[in-house]
Structures are given as C-alpha cells and as structure tokens.
Amino acid sequence: MSTSPFDPQDAAIVFDGVTKAFGAHKVLQGLDLVVPKGKCTVIIGRSGTGKSVTLKHAMGLIQPDAGRVTVLGKELGRLKREELQRLRLRFGMVFQNAALFDSLSVYENVAFPLREHEKLTEAETLSRVEAVLAQVGLSFAIQKMPSELSGGMRKRVGLARAIIHTPDILLYDEPTTGLDPILTAQIDELIAATQQNHPAMASVVVSHDMKGAFMVADYIYMLHQGKVVAQGPPEHFKTTDDPLVRQFVEGRLDGPIGVE
C-alpha cells in the first residue's frame, strides 16, 4: 500500500495509528490517513468499517484508545475542553440523518451556529441564513419545521447549517444514504459545488456510494477492518486491479472481502 502524497505538517486532519474498540468490537485498528486542505477527500468502505467513527474522532466527539488525531496542527488528546470547543468552531458537520433540531424551524436551525458564537443583529443573521439557504436551493422552506421536509431537503438544510459559519473543515457522514438516485446526484453536485465555492476548505465525505465518490473526490481512502487498505485519486480506483478495491467498486459478492 502506498502512503499518502500529502504533507502531514500542513494537513487539515492527520490520523496516526488510531485504534478504537467498543467493548470487544474493534472498530479502528491502526488507522493512518492524511486529509489535505483545499481538497475533497472521500473515505469509502463497507458499513461497519469505522467510517463514521473516524469522523467522530476528527471532531473529538470520541477519544482514541491509542494513536493520535491532529487537526489543523493541534493534537486533540492534549487540548483542554475549552480549546477543543474553540477548535470545533472551525468544523462543519453534515449528519447522516441531518440531525436537525426538531423543535426549531429551518431558519432557527440554520441560524443556530451564528446565534451561539457570533454577535450579529437579527437582520445580519437573516441575510446570512437566506444566502446559504439559496446556495442549497431551499429559500422557500425558511419558515418550515424539519418534520415538514423530505429526507433530501433535510440533508440540504443540514448542509446549510454546517457551512453558514464558513468552516475550515466540512465533514459529511453518508450524505446520500437513503436518497433516490436523482436526489443522490443532486446532493453530490451540491458537495462538489460547495467545495468549489470554498476553495480553501477541506471536505471529508464518508460514503459507500462509489458513483458519488468518483464525482466529488480529489482523493479516496478505502477502509477495511479498521485500516486503510487502498488510497489514491479517483482514476487509481477506476483502473487498479487490487482485488479488494475491484470487489468493492464493482459490488461483487465473491472476492477477498468476506460477506457474512
């Protein structure tokens, strides 16, 4: 396996030999990866290979059993609670099921990070919310409640909430899971457009959807059994004859990845 071409000194996120187990279940088993700034990195792998757990480690929502996670030059394990909170302000996260606050309207959801951390007038807040909702094509839904929205719309609101404070790192947890193929294409396009609109930002997309990965990725890591087993730009994944990658990309039952 080749090592990543990115300089860990100037990376957004670095995982260095991270292991994590929940009880007897080992999820990460020595994970090494580097997420560069200004690019869209996609982490693929089967369900249960530790992709979402990886994202939660990056934000310090979970602490590793061993190994180090470094974000924007700061090692998470050494940070105090307040420092970690401040570092989290530089993240945006799009959750698998959007995780919108269902007691708040779309407007209040999207305005939430601003109201918590920036002292803006109500008019400034409104114009920022309108701007990001326009980016995700949901200007009309500003007064709706999350329960009135479809799955795809909820994810777009989740994206608007994640980018409203212009984060340095944007994390997507399975952004297209559970959507139909057309909505999937719409969200993938939105991910690519968001990266283009914020060229300095690092995006990390966790997914098992290869089509989407090829569409949005600058660089792909493939996780299997808690480790990186393949990495490279999308072309590498299209052309390699590594049997692990081929089986996953082509979605075949027979191959080195056991199906229980």
Partner 1 sequence: MITRLVEGVGAAVIRVVERFGSFAEVAVRGTWTLFTPPFRPRLILQQLEFVGVQSLSIVLISGFFTGGVFALQAAYGFGLFGAETLTGSTVTLSLSRSLGPVFCSLMVTGRAGSAMAAEIGTMKVTEQIDALESMAVDPVEYLVSPRVIAGAIMVPVLSALYTGIGMIGAYMVSVPYMGIDGGAFLDRIAWYADPEDLHWGLIKASVYGWLLAAVGCWKGLSVRGGAQGVGQATTEAVVVSSVAILVLDYFFTDILMKLGLLT
Query: What is the contact surface with partner 1 in residues (CB under 8 A)?
Result: 56, 59, 61, 85-86, 88-89, 91, 93, 95-97, 99-102, 112-113, 116-117
Q: Which is nearer to partner 1, 116 or 250 (CB)?
A: 116
**Shortest distance (Å) from residue 88 CB to partner 1:** 4
The smaller minimum CB distance to partner 1, of residues 117 and 238, is found at 117
Nearer to partner 1, 62 or 228 (CB): 62
Q: How far is the CB of 163 from partner 1 (least distance, A)?
A: 12
The sheet carrying 25-36 orders its strands as 25-36, 11-22, 66-71, 74-75
Nearer to partner 1, 88 or 211 (CB): 88
Other C-beta atoms closer than 10 Å to the C-beta of 154 total 23
Shortest distance, position 173 Cβ to partner 1, whole Å: 8
Residue whose token pair is 């190994």: 67
Helix axis angle, 106-117 to 151-163, nearest 10°? 20
Q: How far is the CB of 257 from partner 1 (least distance, A)?
A: 27
The DSSP symbol for 96 reads T
Strands 219-224, 227-232: parallel, antiparallel or unpaired by DSSP? antiparallel
Residue placing its CB nearer to partner 1 in the complex, 87 or 217: 87
Nearer to partner 1, 82 or 260 (CB): 82
DSSP string, 11-57: EEEEEEEEEEEETTEEEEEEEEEEEETTSEEEEEE-TTSSHHHHHHH
Compute the least distance from the CB of residue 91 to partner 1, in Å.
Answer: 6
How far is Cα 246 from Cα 224, in angstroms, rounded to an integer? 13
CB of 101 to partner 1, least distance (A): 6
